[in-house]
Structure 1
């Protein structure tokens, strides 16, 4: 057996093991689009607060609920786009979209995400919304790191980056909005492009 043949066999075995243990049908374009949705939503929310309420966001006001509506719309569009593109990629690669790998991925991701969401909702209900952006970044980062061992390696680094931004947001009060924009907007686009060129573009050739 030649050295080249041996290396090819090792590469094939590694690929088979990765496919059997990890959910690899995530689509990089979904990250790019999610980041774009976040930037558009953030720009509109910023305009609402600055132009309609002179830069002051009052809990329970019309502008406040409009901003929450924008946040919910961004989340729904991001999740919906991710499911659609991931399902399409899985079908193209003849991979199952719902199996043990998917269930493990969702289980490890949803526990910290739901716990964080409930904590943020309770904090908003109690009128403590100053650190909401930082908490979103932190719990989202925790959920990505927790789920990363069941999917692509880039997800772990995205999660760690979100956690770092969350901690910086806590350390620098008054800049939470901009850290949110950087985490959910810019970082999603950057990591989405990186994933696309490493995984999706290669699979198309």
Structure 2
């Protein structure tokens, strides 16, 4: 499985001013624009870290997930949630020829057993060509604006971005590498992994 982010959250959606206030930074200085770029970078890094730990896309954007075979013949979980819509499903053969599946052949199961999933309208998803792949293009995220992000995840991003700001010159890894308050806020969003211990 390969997941590619096709679009990036726009800079205007990032809570740069909120982070500035959280850090109690002054404003009105000549280097404000330089500082805004740095704060936006810390926010993007914090968002990526929170999304990586939770499997949730905070701000809406487009993704493409490719697989060489379906996880199950009747269901393909999507790598991030919440999924707003599936835009397209394409089958690509070993020679690169593409076939788009009509929307009447599949649907989005938003809830899924654990994750949102692509499911067939009939019994099974069509076979992925040997040596080829299936590509699912979809939009995921809580919304286009920062106000759409759940408050606990938004607070976790601010805390982690502030941590990155405060320790920006420290290259050593500390124990755990993520502040306790951040991990406590995101804990309920973390995917539950079940398996057999060896």
TM-score, structure 1 as length reference: 0.25
Higher helix share: 1
Tell which has more relative contact order, 1 or 2 (C-alpha 8 A, sep 6+). 1
Higher strand share: 2
